């Protein structure tokens, strides 16, 4: 968002603001850097689930711990 003054949650050409192509900052390397956080978040959820499954089966006491501490990443969510 610092490199792209036209970054928005809505996909539209902002003609009223003089919208132009942004090719600075992370846009030098990828066209949609704003979605990297979503990708990283998805990978973190998968990694956490796999790690939790491994620890439940291979680490003594982890199943009891998991029963006491319900959430994996975000209290009240998951």
Residue 68 has pLDDT above 90, yes or no: yes
Given a contact cutoff of 8 angstroms between Cβ atoms, the answer to whether 33 and 26 are in contact is: yes
Q: Which of 10-14, 17-21, 40-44, 55-59 has the lowest mean pLDDT?
A: 10-14
Domain borders along the chain are: 1-31, 32-78
More reliable by pLDDT, 11 or 52: 52
Residue 57 has pLDDT above 90, yes or no: yes
Q: Which of 10-14, 30-34, 40-44 has the highest mean pLDDT?
A: 40-44
Burial class (CB in 10 A: 0-12, 13-18, 19+), 58: exposed
Alpha helices for the chain (secondary structure H): 36-58, 62-68
More reliable by pLDDT, 1 or 25: 25
**Mean pLDDT of the 44-63 span:** 95
């Amino acid at each position: 968002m610092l490199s792209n003054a036209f970054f928005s949650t809505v996909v539209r050409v902002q003609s009223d603001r003089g919208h132009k192509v942004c090719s600075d900052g992370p846009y030098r390397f990828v066209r949609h850097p704003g979605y990297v956080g979503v990708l990283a978040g998805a990978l973190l959820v998968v990694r956490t689930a796999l790690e939790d499954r491994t620890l439940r089966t291979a680490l003594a006491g982890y199943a009891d711990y998991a029963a006491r501490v319900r959430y994996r990443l975000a209290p009240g969510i998951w």
